Structure 1
Amino acid sequence: MSAAQGRVALGLEHHGAGRLAEAEALYREALAEEPHNIDALHFLGVVALQRGDPARAVELISQSLSHNSGNAPACSNLGLALAALGRNAEALRRMLEALALQPGYADALANLQRLMKQMTPDTEEGRDALMILGEAHSGANELDEAADCMRRILEQRPADADAHNLLGNVLRNQARHGEALRHYEQAIVHDSNPVVAFQNLLFCMMCAPGFSAADLHARHREFARRFEQPLLGPAPAFANPHDPERRLRIGYFSPDFRANVVGHYVQPVFANHDRRRFEIYGYFGGASADGVTRQIAALVDHWHEVRALSDADLVALMRGHQLDILVDLCGHGPGNRILAFARRAAPLQVNYLDYSATTGLSSMDYRLTTEYCDPRGIADPYYSERLCRLPDTYWTYNPTVGLPLAALPSQANGYVTFGSFNLYYRVTGEVLDLWTRVLQAVPGSRLVIVSVAPGSTQAALVEKLARAGIARERIDIHGVVPYEAYHQLIGSVDIGLAPFPYNGATTLMDCVWNGVPVVAKAGGETFSTRLGCSVLAGMGLEELIAADHDDYVRIAAGLASSPRRLSELRQTLRQKLEHSSMRDFPGFARALESAYRSIWRAWCNAQTKS
């Protein structure tokens, strides 16, 4: 550290303690030694602003940025100084620049929020600032604030598609599915290319009540007609040798090869692929890598980070690798590149893992599933893909946390605690009504529920339960919790309650891993209603799958009144899961490879015949 930097560091200590005169003197000494010291110029400008001289602050901080334009805090503070001079448009640009340099930067967001109170969304800059602010609030699960930003835009610009789409996401996360769907529909109407809004609508339909398999299939096929069809051209002439038994090149695409459900699912698969028979390519489309990303990259033969590539360039890259089978692990989810598949990057294209319905695309040849998740003869008409059924399970379970099993909470508490650990957008009004019946059937019982945003979302939940006679002290509400704390919270309940129609599987497996039995409603005709039940069935726990609402209450209340059974489950569920096909990583990899070999043989046979 230079002497000048030492003085800046000491000046910051005084500055933080409110001793502006001492801080200013040290910054000036630093500048005397290094006239272009960017930190001294910046912080001297902050002192000027704090002393009521914004013009001098603009001059000093601008000098600092002329030597280092990538300093997000300096950009944000320059914005503050410009706003103090009434130069709001310039101030807004500087604050947006700070957020572009450092997304989620708290000080810049706070400064932007203050500035927006002086501006209206009738200008492009004001509108853009509200969008950025709304996205930041939404990402922080501050849903009321995010909704307020979007409604301010829509008051001035009722046809703003981006605002309708983000408001739809906010309302979905508040479990207000009907309202969310209406805003997605508005976004689709007003956007010239509403791919993302349409995909958000498709996902929301899976979470909302009242949609049949036929409804979901029809809207996915509508997506394909609008967005896939224009991209379809003559089938490429692939030169892949038609040898059904040779070593195959398998490509996997995902934006979630990171510390994420998908990343944890695929690690044991990639680690157990038979490299003598399969050559593995990984295509990572995510914005940022982490330690899990690096672990996954080390497990494949060829690794490519492709986020910056256009769809056309991505397909050209994949074709150049002469893949035999390309597996999409994302579907219509966030970060997807589903329309790249319309351009046909490999002879066989397969959808798997992180999407719970058909893609709707004619260019997606197969979807991997199981007999339980998609019963033969019932599910097939609702897919554009051919269904290839894995023999035992749809996925692996690979948790990164293995906390010691806690004692049964009811033994110490004197009451039974139920728990919901799914994301709140899966909890419909019908689900809350049923959980109310469960709480009424078990006097004194409590409910722990997570991922409920503060403000109006929590208030609406409390009010709904209060109307049914459930006192506030019986409900323990949490927002989004960190991963290990989430597992600890699971250990604090006696019985898990699965929502519907989208019951989820990872959360259910997390509960079982922590010794917590989960009551679920039997699925209908869609994958998303059956995937969680498939876990219970695969572990021989059909006793926890309810035929209807009355049966759901009966099972939950029955468990609550059977402490011996609960204690037994507490001690045996993890072991039962450990010995299931979901934890047999080599066996699952062989089953997956067998599916790939089967569809490859079928393709080779078809090529030979043609």
Structure 2
Amino acid sequence: MHDGCVAPWQDNRADTDPVALLNKAIRLDGEGVHDIAQAAMRQVVTLIPGWDEPWLRLGQSLRARNCHDAAMAAYDAALECNPRRVEALLARGVLALQHEPPQTGLHFLTRATDLAQDNHQAWHALGHAYAAAKLDIRAAGAFRHAATLAPDRLIYAFDAVDSETWLDGPISDPAPPWSDGIRLALAGRSALQRGALDEAEAALEAAYALMPDEPWIPTALGSVHMMAMRPYRAEPALRAAHRLAPNDPVIAHDLAVALARLYRYAEAETILGMVATQGSAHPRIFCTRANQRASMGDIQGAMDDLATARMNGADEIEALRAECSLMPYRRDASAIMVRHAMETLGAMLPRAGTPMMRPRSAISDDPERPLRIGLLSNTLRTHPVGWLTLAGFEALDRDSFPIHCFGRFAPEDRLARRFAARADAWHAIDALDDYAVAALIAEQNIDILIDLGGYGDAGRMSVTAYRAAPVQIKWVGMQCTTSGIREIDWFLTDRWETPDGFERFYTERLLRLTDGYVCYLPPDNPPGFTPPPALARSHVTFGCFNNVTKITDETLTAWADLLFHVPDARLALRCPQFSESVTVMRLQERARNAGINVARLDFLGRASHREFLAGYNKIDIALDPFPYSGGLTTCESLFMGVPVVTLAGEHFAARHSVSHLSNVGLLDCVTTSTDAYIDRAMELAKDLHTLTELRAGLRRQVVASPLCDTARFGKSLGAGLRHAWHDYCAAARA
């Protein structure tokens, strides 16, 4: 050391001993003092130039800090000192697989296995080297040998089994002596890949009992429960996996998704925030957090996350899909802007070279023959899709329109059972990619495929890009704007959702039904309704039971103006997210900024469907948010005798309530400006006599209207489908 200075790792004379100095360096490296530790390791090299150990340790330290080139150089130096050092050969070979041609990795790893034939890690790495070199038979043999040496390693078992699928025939080597836990985990994974969820659950639960410290197993259980639409069971499984592997970003991501499905968005946001602070956070983390922030009403935060995702190299389809799903909620996004964005996304979807559907020569062009209808959706159950479409499908003539369902079936769900009773067949698709789903639909000779999922949660609308059926239609299920997919021929709508002149906002042709575009199915044994609560309270209560995502700043500003002009009124807001105090506090802050006295707001959270409906007995007038209006919530409000004031917009989601109100005969509640929206709400608030009369007869009016007339709607839907088929037949003959 110059001028008698002592290096930071040499705090006593014992540190001049190379062994003691290296031990101290290893300890410092373990404590996170990497720079000083590496400097000490280099000092040991100068003290004993031919010793391989300090080079090996330096390589390990550099590799842990992702200094791959420097780490490879250190391992090379260790091998110059000792060409038979297996640890250096193994580490150098693994790095070569990541950064160099496969043959380089093979060079080091074959030497490692030659020197240490019982080193399972070396054999496993060699399997990956053979696979990278496309030497499939050798890869399968190496993976199987690694699994035989360490039959309790789950990743070895997975790689051994997977590698055999690359071969033309079975491998000749005997199967490894798998433990019971490994065999059960393999069986569970196989069942999960096939979509056999009950079988997968049973096997994985048994495997977890035998291998409680293996994080993959509870992670897979979480996937089973999420696919089966049981987030309440997925959450504890994924929580257990997260405890076992707290730094695994994939597990953290899946846990956050499960929490969001349970409307525990604040917890989900916290978990994703912790992952996002990691330097290597996957861009998918930001895409998912964008969706979750939007679900808490933070559209700007969601847009910021999408920008970050793109900066980090996000898959453009995933990022654009998330962005397009947010656009209908933004007041600054015009209908034509939304169309252009959706067209861009639609053009990016994977497609086959030729359509997956049967060739036209194999399709009968008889315009009047029975038509096989395919329903593509994972939400054919108690869900807005179910409440707004089931009655229409049940009213279709069964002989003229046989139905095939493609999606998840929830046998415990009452509406799902009704869909199944109406359907001629139900096909599970969870285990299939989009190409395989399209092939399945084509194999079933579907004539008209109706997408009922869109780009929403578990939606498979991208299947339509493969042209799975001769005629393809978009209806309900995230039907908030045009699909933008050129292979979707028709957009099922009505004259109120898409008046004349709105064609320019859609890539599809508009298939306008005679009345409204949906048929509302009222619940069995609904709660009764009461007179307007204002009669007993001496003040009017406005209400909005829509998702907080729809409550824009512009909506809050309009509500502030309304509450100013009706000074004794209150405003009740209900959605599942309001069960979390964080979401309530954030909306309160936004409401204050809009000029609302938050003491006049009542926040209501999760409730059973019956309790949710009964909540309308506590409000007098419903206020529709904008630009994304209510859909099912508007139908339910009207059914419970509560009029809805709406502000009509341009794109489809901005006109849901326009359609429902017009279909029921409440055209005077449809407004076209913010001032008119406020004025109409004020007029209703001041006329308790009209409110009382309206409430007393509105349910009868709704049930008697085309909105709930199943026979009428079924006839209209059948005519629309037949029209689309006639058009196809005419084009086929031309």
Band of TM-score, shorter chain: 0.7 to 0.9
User: Match for 2:682: what amino acid?
Assistant: A
Which structure 2 residue ranges, 5 or more long, are not aligned? 1-178, 186-202, 226-230
1:504 to 612, 630, 637: 630
The aligned residue for residue 565 of structure 1 is 690
Aligned twin of 1:522: 648
Range moving further from structure 2, 431-440 or 272-281: 272-281
- Structure 1 residues 480, 191: CA separation in 2 closer, same or farther (over 3 Å shift)? farther
2:459 alignment partner, SS class:
coil
- Partners of 1:335 and 1:366 lie apart in 2 by 22
Deviation at 1:128, TM superposition (A): 2.9
Aligned ranges for residues 12-161 of structure 1 at < 5 Å?
A: 75=208, 90=213, 96=219, 99=222, 104-105=232-233, 121=247, 125=248, 127-157=249-279, 160-161=282-283
User: Where in structure 2 are the equivalents of 1:18-417 lying within 5 Å?
Assistant: 75=208, 90=213, 96=219, 99=222, 104-105=232-233, 121=247, 125=248, 127-157=249-279, 160-188=282-310, 190=312, 193-228=315-350, 230-233=351-354, 237-238=359-360, 239-285=362-408, 290-354=413-477, 355-376=479-500, 378-401=501-524, 402-417=526-541
Q: Please say if 1:599 is aligned against 2:720.
A: no
Alignment check: 8 A CA contact 2:376 2:405 kept: yes
Deviations 1:246-299 (A, max 9, x none): 222222221111111112223222221113332222222467763322221111
Provide the secondary structure at the position in 1 that maps to 2:372: strand
Alignment partner, residue 108 of structure 2:
none
Partners of 2:232 and 2:473 in 1: how far apart? Answer: 36
Distance 1:349 1:557, change over 3 A: same
- CA distance in structure 1 between the partners assigned to 2:508 and 2:401 by the alignment: 23
CA contact (8 A) 2:374 2:448 kept: yes
What amino acid is aligned across from residue 455 of structure 1 in structure 2?
S
Aligned to 1:84: none
Please, which of 581, 600, 621 is the counterpart of residue 474 of structure 1? 600
Answer whether contact 1:187 1:194 (CA < 8 A) is retained: no
Contact 2:370 2:399 in 1 (8 A): yes
Q: 2:700 aligns with which of 575, 579, 603?
A: 575
Q: Deviations over 1:4-42 (max 9, x none)?
A: xxxxxxxxxxxxxxxxxxxxxxxxxxxxxxxxxxxxxxx
Distance of aligned partners of 1:97 and 1:366 in 2 relative to their CA distance in 1, 3 Å threshold? closer
Q: Alpha-carbon deviations, 1:213-252, whole Å to 9, x = none?
A: 1111111111122224x54536852311111222222222
Q: Contact 2:355–2:467 (CA<8 Å) still a contact in 1? A: no
Partner Cα distance (1:316, 1:97) in 2: 27
Structure 1 contact 450–481 (Cα < 8 Å) conserved = no
Residue 543 of structure 2 corresponds to residue 422 of structure 1: no
Q: Distance in 1 between matches of 2:409 and 2:255?
A: 23
Residue 532 of structure 1 corresponds to 657
- 8 Å Cα contact 1:281-1:302 kept in structure 2: yes
How far the C-alpha of 1:363 sits from its partner, in A, is 0.8
Distance in 1 separating the partners of 2:674 and 2:626: 11
CA contact (8 A) 2:553 2:594 kept: no
The CA deviation string for residues 181-217 of structure 1, in whole angstroms up to 9 with x for no partner, is: 2323443564564544432221110112210111111
Shift of the 100–436 alpha-carbon distance from structure 1 to 2, 3 Å rule, reads same
Q: Is the 8 A contact 2:388 2:518 kept in 1?
A: yes
User: CA, structure 1 residues 191+391, in 2 after alignment: closer, same or farther (shift >3 Å)?
Assistant: farther
Which letter maps to 1:143? Y
Secondary structure of the corresponding residue to residue 530 of structure 1: helix
Q: Matches of 1:394 and 1:107 in 2, distance apart?
A: 40
Q: Is the 8 A contact 2:541 2:621 kept in 1?
A: yes
Contact 1:253 1:285 in 2 (8 A): no
- Listed as ranges, the gaps of 5+ residues in structure 1 are 1-62, 80-89
| One-letter code aligned to 1:136 | A
Secondary structure of the residue aligned to 1:581 is: coil
- Residue-by-residue CA offset, 1:430-458 (whole Å, 9 max, x unaligned): 11111122122112211110124423321
* Length, aligned pairs only: 527
Distance 1:75 1:404 in 2: 48
- Determine the C-alpha separation between the residues in 1 that align with 2:550 and 2:400: 41
CA contact (8 A) 1:99 1:108 kept: yes
Residue 567 of structure 2 aligns to a residue whose secondary structure is coil
Q: How does 1:544-559 map to 2 (within 5 A)?
A: 544-559=669-684
Change (3 A) 1:316 1:555: same
| Separation (CA, whole Å) in 2 of partners of 1:552 and 1:100 | 45
* TM-score, normalising length: structure 1: 0.80
User: Cα deviation per residue 1:473-529 (whole Å; 9 max; x = unaligned)?
Assistant: 421102232211110111211110000001022111100100001111122x21111
What is the distance in 1 between the residues matched to 2:586 and 2:363?
Answer: 58
Partners of 2:418 and 2:379 in 1: how far apart? Answer: 13
Q: Distance in 2 between matches of 1:215 and 1:287?
A: 37
Q: Is the 8 A contact 2:389 2:520 kept in 1?
A: no
Q: Is the 8 A contact 1:253 1:284 kept in 2?
A: yes
Q: Does the 8 A contact of 2:451 with 2:473 survive in 1?
A: yes
CA distance in 2, matches of 1:294, 1:248: 22
Shift of the 456–598 alpha-carbon distance from structure 1 to 2, 3 Å rule, reads same
Question: Secondary structure of the equivalent of 2:402?
Answer: strand
d(CA) in 2 for partners of 1:557, 1:386: 39
Q: 1:339 to 1:485 in 2, by over 3 A?
A: same
Mapped partners of 2:489, 2:469: distance in 1:
10
